[in-house]
Structure 1
Amino acid sequence: MSIEVRDAVPAEYDAVGKIVAAAFAADGQLDAPDSVSYRDVLHDVAARAAAAEIIVALDDGVVVGGVTYVPRGGPMADIAGDGEAEIRMLGVAPDAQGRGAGSALMRECLARAARDGGTAAGSGRAAASTRTRRVVLSTNTIAHGSHRLYERLGFVRDPARDWTPVPGVDLLCYVLDL
Structure 2
Amino acid sequence: MSPSPDAPALAVDRARPDDFARIGQLTCDVYLDGGLASAAYGEQLRDVAGRADRAELLVARDDEGRVVGSVALVLEGDFGEVTESDDEAAFRMLVVDPAGQGRGIGELLVTACLERARAAGKRRMVLSTDRRMTTAQRLYERLGFTRLPERDWQPAPGIDLLVYALDL
Q: Measure the CA separation in 1 of the matches of 2:117 and 2:139.
A: 18
The alpha-carbon deviation at position 75 of structure 1 amounts to 3.5
Q: In the alignment, which of 101, 108, 115 is matched to residue 104 of structure 1?
A: 108
Which SS does the other structure have where 1:22 is aligned?
Answer: helix
Amino acid at match of 1:144: T
Which SS does the other structure have where 1:76 is aligned?
Answer: coil
The alpha-carbon deviation at position 93 of structure 1 amounts to 1.2
Q: Give me the identity figure in percent.
A: 46
State the partner residue of 1:5: 12
State the partner residue of 2:129: 139
Q: Measure the CA separation in 2 of the matches of 1:85 and 1:77.
A: 8
The question of 1:87 aligning with 2:91 is answered: yes
TM-score, normalization by structure 2: 0.91
State the partner residue of 2:23: 16
Which SS does the other structure have where 2:43 is aligned?
Answer: helix
Q: In the alignment, which of 155, 166, 170 is matched to residue 145 of structure 2?
A: 155
The alpha-carbon deviation at position 139 of structure 1 amounts to 0.3
Greater helix content: 1
Structure 1 consecutive aligned stretches of length 4 or more whose deviation exceeds 4 Å: none
State the partner residue of 1:50: 53
| Contact 1:84–1:135 (Cα < 8 Å) also in 2 | yes
| Contact 2:24–2:48 (Cα < 8 Å) also in 1 | yes
Q: Measure the CA separation in 2 of the matches of 1:40 and 1:65.
A: 19
5+ residue gaps, structure 2, are 1-7
State the partner residue of 1:64: 68
TM-score, normalization by structure 1: 0.86
The alpha-carbon deviation at position 163 of structure 1 amounts to 0.7
5+ residue gaps, structure 1, are 118-131
Q: Measure the CA separation in 1 of the matches of 2:33 and 2:152.
A: 23
The alpha-carbon deviation at position 37 of structure 1 amounts to 2.8
Amino acid at match of 1:166: A
Report the structure number with the largest CA radius of gyration.
Answer: 1
Amino acid at match of 1:45: V
Q: Measure the CA separation in 2 of the matches of 1:172 and 1:75.
A: 17
Alignment RMSD (CA, Å): 1.1
